[in-house]
Amino acid sequence: MLFHTHLMIGLVFFLLLKDYFTGGNEILFLALVLLGSIFPDIDDGKSKMKKASGIIGSIISYLFKHRGIFHSIFMGLGLFVLFIVFWNSYYAFAILIGYSSHLFGDIITPMGLKLFYPLSDFKIRGPIRVGGLGEWVILFGMGLVVLKSFF
């Protein structure tokens, strides 16, 4: 999925799930969900996330292949645990929700994802081509969900 679609999916995940979590600042929670929703693409040399993260993104995208460990459920869970240890579980769930929304967005594309990499090379994929009509339909549908949440 494209950058803006990942953000939109992250926003919808936030709207659907936010009421299940309490214990901190909701704006910060949203910011972390959105960060999590674009963070995995730090492994893509051409992504906005990589460019925005400067030298760290350059190193990560050089060392790790795109849609490898940074697109694995284990990285999401690893960050979740790190956030619990060094911050708190409320914000840890925000990162996990954002991360999951990103993996969801990539799983539904034909390129798919190795969700359990590096333990398994099993790939899950879907029919939605990146930048294709299906992605725009999803973007539009999610936009409606977001609009509806205000009324």
What are the residues binding Zn ion (CB under 5 A)? 40-41, 106
Q: Closest CB to Zn ion among 23 and 131?
A: 131
DSSP secondary structure letter of residue 118:
T
Pick 106 or 135: Cβ nearer Zn ion: 106
Burial of residue 52, with CB atoms counted within 10 A of its CB: 0-12 exposed, 13-18 middle, 19 or more buried: exposed
Shortest separation between residue 41's beta carbon and Zn ion, angstroms: 4
Measured from the CB of residue 106, what is the shortest distance to Zn ion in angstroms?
4
Longest dimension (CA), the chain: 46
Q: How many CB atoms lie within 10 A of CB 143?
A: 13
> Min. distance of Cβ 148 from Zn ion in angstroms?
27
Cα gap 14→50, rounded to integer Å: 23
The token duo for 6 is 């990942």
Q: Which C-beta is closer to Zn ion: that of 10 or that of 40?
A: 40
In the bound complex, what is the minimum distance in angstroms from residue 118's beta carbon to Zn ion? 17
Q: Considering beta carbons, is residue 37 or 90 the nearer one to Zn ion?
A: 37
